[in-house]
Amino acid sequence: MSFLSVNQAVGQSVSNTKARKYSNEFLAIGIGARALGMSNATITSVNDVTAGYWNPAGLLDIKSNLAVGLMHSEYFAGIAKYDYGGIATPIDTNSALGFSFIRFGVDNIPNTTELIDSEGNVDYSRISSFSAADYAFLFSYARKLGVPGLRVGANIKVIHRRAGDFAKSWGFGLDASAKYDYKKWRFAAMARDVTSTYNAWSFDLSDQMKETFVQTANEIPENSVEITLPRLIIGVAREEVIKEKLYILAELNADLTFDGKRNVVVAGDPISIDPHMGVEISYDKIVFLRGGVGNIQKVKSEIGSRQVTTFQPNFGIGLNIKPLNLAIDYAFTDIGDQSVALYSHVFSLKFDFYK
């Protein structure tokens, strides 16, 4: 890895305080193969342990006494590892608790910033390795209100990001959410980083690393605060019975961001709107077939200067083994640029325990 790559890993912010358009973006990827197979259109219909991430109000839809979820996926040809673990339990008939852990990281990155010693000699024994990883810890709470069909929830988020021993940050934030059922219709809203999330970065660079920064015309990172601005997600869903034991659920979500113009369907300043939708067909709630469309963008065509609309399709399947209280989900999905199309295989497990 070049020195520039190391500098990018540690140089998250070089001013005292910055509100970045793309901050803590690892928390926008999504968790759970069910959701990823439906292009993350799930805040309204989520009813399992992953609700701690998608919409904590959905924790009240869990029927078991204890729910556990796990997920693993790899991106960029296995370079980046993405893992999730969650647990949820009801407190009583009106409230529930949950905890979620997320890690997105790249391990064994060569650090060549000290490759050349003070006398100008190349010394390969000075090459070390480090990990650049983002961690999130979500503590969730949900409660029913006096209005029939209305539930609310909230997350307390603790975020830890680090690059080796020379850069790290701690951040704190809050999410707030709601779900409302009206006849066959379901509605939901999820306000992420509702109070803005603050990451305080600190750097501990050796004199050799600082000298390399200067020699390569890179700025030396300084202790700073990075701000993640709020994001609002709204959704609507409806489920219908096609015929006996055959169900179809459709959901539409829209992400509203307030950090400036983005390359999405409705790109504006200060509000941009990014719609995405998913469909789930199930037989007797045992076998599931899922699909979704998201990441809809306007890009320049390869020939000429006209713009074309691109989108990212996602697919998934699921199996609910009722005798074992075990659900296995799979998704074939991408996390971003469709032109690259680095699709990944995502697997997740969900366990339900009853007294």
For residue range 256-279, list pLDDT tens digits in order: 998 888 888 888 888 999 999 999
Q: Does the pLDDT of residue 350 top 70, yes or no?
A: yes
Q: What per-residue confidence (pLDDT) applies to 16?
A: 54
Backbone φ/ψ region at 108: left (φ over 0), alpha (ψ -120 to 50), beta: left
Q: What per-residue confidence (pLDDT) applies to 311?
A: 86
Q: What per-residue confidence (pLDDT) applies to 302?
A: 66
Range of the domain at 291: 3-353
State how far the Cα of 272 lies from the Cα of 265, in Å rounded to an integer: 8
Q: What is the mean pLDDT of residues 18-44?
A: 88
State how far the Cα of 203 lies from the Cα of 215, in Å rounded to an integer: 19
State how far the Cα of 321 lies from the Cα of 34, in Å rounded to an integer: 15
Report the percent of the chain where pLDDT is more than 70.
Answer: 90
Backbone φ/ψ region at 8: left (φ over 0), alpha (ψ -120 to 50), beta: alpha
8 A C-beta contact, residue 318 and residue 287: yes
State how far the Cα of 294 lies from the Cα of 46, in Å rounded to an integer: 18
Of 28-32, 93-97, 164-168, the one with minimum mean pLDDT is 164-168
Mean per-residue pLDDT of the chain: 87
User: Count of domains in the chain?
Assistant: 1
Q: What per-residue confidence (pLDDT) applies to 7?
A: 44
Q: Give residue-wise pLDDT tens across range 219-253.
A: 888 888 888 889 999 999 999 999 989 999 999 99
Q: What per-residue confidence (pLDDT) applies to 165?
A: 84
Q: Does the pLDDT of residue 2 top 70, yes or no?
A: no
Question: Minimal CA–CA distance to 157: which of 132, 129, 143, 177?
Answer: 177
Q: What is the mean pLDDT of residues 175-192?
A: 96
pTM given for the model: 0.85
CATH number, position 137: 2.40.160.40
